Structure 1
Amino acid sequence: MTKNDCALVLGGYVNGYSIIQELHEKKIEEIILFGYSRELASYSNKIRKFVLIDKTPDSLQREIKELHKEYTKIIIFPTDDLQLENLHNIYPEIHSFCFLPFNPENLLTCLDKYIQYSYCEKLGVPYPKTILLQKKEDLENIKTIPFPILLKPNKREDLRRKIFRNLKIDDSEDLEKAKKNIEGHLESGIKFLASEIIPGDGSCIYAYVGYRNRKGRILNEWTGKKLSQYPDNFGVFSAASNEAPEEVLVQGRTLLNSMDIKGIAQPEFKYDFRDKKYKLMEINLRSMMWHRMGRLSGVDLHYSQYLDALGKKVSPQVQVKNKNIHFLYLKHEIRNLIRQRKYLRTFLKNIIESDETHFAVYDRKDIKPFLKDSTDIVRSAIRKSLQALRIAG
């Protein structure tokens, strides 16, 4: 017997599990998980089933069509850029029975970070001084930006091939060492952005997160900031809070509306104390690792998408700002403690200096994902210890 609808979460890491938590808390029972491997969310008791897929659009299309035999409508929640590209690739074959949270007309364009910066230029939204590298000869132009420089592909390439997500270049000597590697990637067709590094650590990162429907209306939104990142200041979420100034909200709205972005999107900004501006780092067009902060501070973006997909009313929600809420990923915080000198003070501050502190993945009624994640921490620590012993020996 075919059921009416289901929520399909793509990817079972922290962001995927947070989506599952939110939807389950809103009494959604038909939650399906697709993943490239058995990540932590695949152990959850909140999902109906887990399906293993590979990273090709054909695999994704095959399993979605198989799922359609069970459900009339499938509401999809992607968690990485490759999933977005694969969904875009198979859009004509599945859009009649799937709700796809993006604008098919401009998705690939909007994923390009250089295009994102070009919109900033037109809209007056601050962004770092940046140049585009398309061929080997462009490497000479890097000298127009003062060191240190952050180099990153204009689109996420590390999900499909062996390449760095970002590379910090401190000086000319660093550039010379990395030159051959960069030239090889340029010759293979990868484009790079070389940007000035805005001073400040991971606590200077702010985000606007909104859900914009197919009619171009932002139905719900929230803002927050990172308290720390892992493994360094150019890494990913480790701890976050619901703090952010109005300027971040205004700039985020401007970008989503002007670029005609649909679905859940997250413009991320870094505060530059030199000119007191919040400068765009990138726009993520899917759910990130710390999107649970929205739910914890009163804004249910994933449930908003679910209701909108079914044509139901989405009530506007006001984010809680009168108390300080912290959200931590303990695995990353512990690793920061191990890797970074004098991190204990930051660690304690992230846990203690709040009105509420919540931990990613931990749910005493659904403990297996947390145990899986904790086991990974122990295994990683043992592996690194053995490597250190081998080096010492």
Structure 2
Amino acid sequence: MRAPEQDGMDTATPAVVFKLDPNVLHHGGLGLIRSLGRAGVPVYAVHEDPLAPAAHSRHLRGRWWWRPDPGDAERINLGLATLAERLGRPAVLFPTDDAAAIHLAEHGAELRHWFRFPDPPPELPREVAGKFTLQDICRELGVPTPRAELVRTRAEAAEFAAETGFPLVAKLATPWTSGGRAKVRSTSILRDRADLRALGQAWEEQRSGLLMLQEYVPGGSGNDWFVHAYRGSGGCRPAFTGVKLRSYPAHAGLTTLGRCASNTVLRTQAVELLRRLDFRGIADLDFRFDRRDGSYRLLDFNPRLGAQFRLFRDSAGVDVVLAAYLDLTGQPVPEGLPPVGRRFLVENYDPIGALGYRRRGELGLRQWIRSVWRVEETAWFARDDLAPFALMCGWMGARALTRRIAPRPARVVEPPRYRARAERVAGSGVRQRRRSPYAVKEGH
């Protein structure tokens, strides 16, 4: 399970995992911790709950329990400065959600004394993460994308539906602003007027967030693609392409089963888009192949790590996280052959998502078993890091008992509270808390 070691790789610089989204079951952050931790990098992370599964990974050197108000930029920077003082030396900072990536682009200048992170144009992460502002960018650059429109009332929604026809796709225009309290999913498929009425009622009850309606591009097996890439000082390298085989909710949510697949046309299109935007950092882009005209239509642009990034690791052992770490610490990024055929499974959501495909007559039990039988990478289970999987099962069981699928909103926690990882002292047989070797002394 240990990542292949890079020749001469310097792992002395710490890495910090930073997110503002209150999703306690975010598996992308856990993948980042494992990827760098196995390579020998000292990894620290911010968590919203002491029992967050990723907080108990054996690959963490230390953790903070912190839930700041995403709208308070000054307090967020003060909290990150507190983290930096605890570390005592510069660290690479990895945002793992849209809100964190947007914050660093717009308010991160004063943090560069302590942290190393990419420097895209300050306004760009917000523009590409916004569902409707992304549409404007695509129109300006001539990038294929489905027709879409912002709606502010039920009447406007009904008018767009009448013009475009069903099914439709509904998206929260700025999903990172919901703070985990949204009554409406960030992405939903509306198959008829009844779905539209139900969504309109829930949206009005939520009383926050703009809603975008989008043309539904006909899908099918093998039509949903994604690109994970890192663009840094040496250009866009690596850039991986893969196919979304299943999602939760079905056809409209996060990837629960994905497969590596080479697609030179799509890779070239995505790399060129990142170059024209002058985007810098890790990006996760979702496309759908439109059989009507043979185009790849851009559906989403996430200006940060994609949760399924561990699907991709080239022959040199490099994924987008390791590439970013090497580049931001001034080290060369080795180039290897891209992976093909590798599969990635999200164990807690794929069985639930598979039920949606089964109800549509698209998936049988035997077919589902065959699809997951030889998965090379899983989101939670790892033989060298079992605690996160066990805690994930506990959280999912608790949600099932309380009939909750979304995380319970948590209170704001200030300031960041540090906890070192419990480690076994060699030869003693005793577990103890070890203070970070990079901590600064009181008064310094």
Unmatched 5+ stretches in structure 2: 1-10, 405-444
1:254 to 242, 259, 272: 272
Q: RMSD over aligned Cα, in angstroms?
A: 2.8
> Closer, same or farther in 2 for the Cα pair 1:136/1:274, shift >3 Å?
same
What secondary structure, in the 3-state scheme, does the structure 2 residue paired with 1:331 have? coil
Q: Distance in 2 between matches of 1:343 and 1:278?
A: 29
> Closer, same or farther in 2 for the Cα pair 1:142/1:334, shift >3 Å?
closer
> After the TM superposition, which of the residue ranges 269-278 and 223-232 deviates more from structure 2?
269-278
- Offset of 1:41 from its aligned partner? 0.9
1:348 to 369, 377, 380: 369
Q: Deviations over 1:209-266 (max 9, x none)?
A: 11111x4721321111111111321121111110142222122112211112110001
Q: Is the 8 A contact 2:121 2:278 kept in 1?
A: no
What secondary structure, in the 3-state scheme, does the structure 2 residue paired with 1:350 have? helix
Residue type at the aligned position of 1:274: R
Q: For residues 1-393 of structure 1, what are the structure 2 equivalents within 5 Å?
A: 5-11=13-19, 13-28=26-41, 30-37=42-49, 38-56=51-69, 57-69=73-85, 70-106=87-123, 107-133=125-151, 138-139=156-157, 140-156=159-175, 157-159=177-179, 161-164=181-184, 165-182=186-203, 188=208, 190-201=209-220, 203-213=222-232, 215=233, 217-295=235-313, 298-321=317-340, 324-337=341-354, 340-341=358-359, 342-352=363-373, 357-384=376-403
Q: Distance in 2 between matches of 1:5 and 1:71?
A: 11
- The runs of at least 4 consecutive aligned structure 1 residues that moved more than 6 Å come to none
Residue type at the aligned position of 2:368: F
Residue type at the aligned position of 2:96: T
> After the TM superposition, which of the residue ranges 283-292 and 155-164 deviates more from structure 2?
155-164
What secondary structure, in the 3-state scheme, does the structure 1 residue paired with 2:133 have? helix
Residue type at the aligned position of 1:313: P
Unmatched 5+ stretches in structure 1: 386-393
Q: Is the 8 A contact 1:201 1:233 kept in 2?
A: no
What secondary structure, in the 3-state scheme, does the structure 2 residue paired with 1:21 have? helix
Q: Is the 8 A contact 1:240 1:328 kept in 2?
A: yes
Q: Distance in 2 between matches of 1:175 and 1:381?
A: 27
What secondary structure, in the 3-state scheme, does the structure 1 residue paired with 2:313 have? helix
Residue type at the aligned position of 2:263: P
The structure with the greater share of residues assigned to helix is 1
- Offset of 1:94 from its aligned partner? 0.9
Q: Is the 8 A contact 1:328 1:350 kept in 2?
A: no
Q: Distance in 2 between matches of 1:163 and 1:383?
A: 17
What secondary structure, in the 3-state scheme, does the structure 2 residue paired with 1:85 have? helix
Q: Is the 8 A contact 1:229 1:237 kept in 2?
A: yes
> Closer, same or farther in 2 for the Cα pair 1:345/1:119, shift >3 Å?
farther
Q: Distance in 2 between matches of 1:265 and 1:73?
A: 23
What secondary structure, in the 3-state scheme, does the structure 2 residue paired with 1:5 have? coil
- Kindly indicate whether structure 1 or structure 2 has the higher relative contact order, using CA contacts under 8 Å at least 6 residues apart: 2
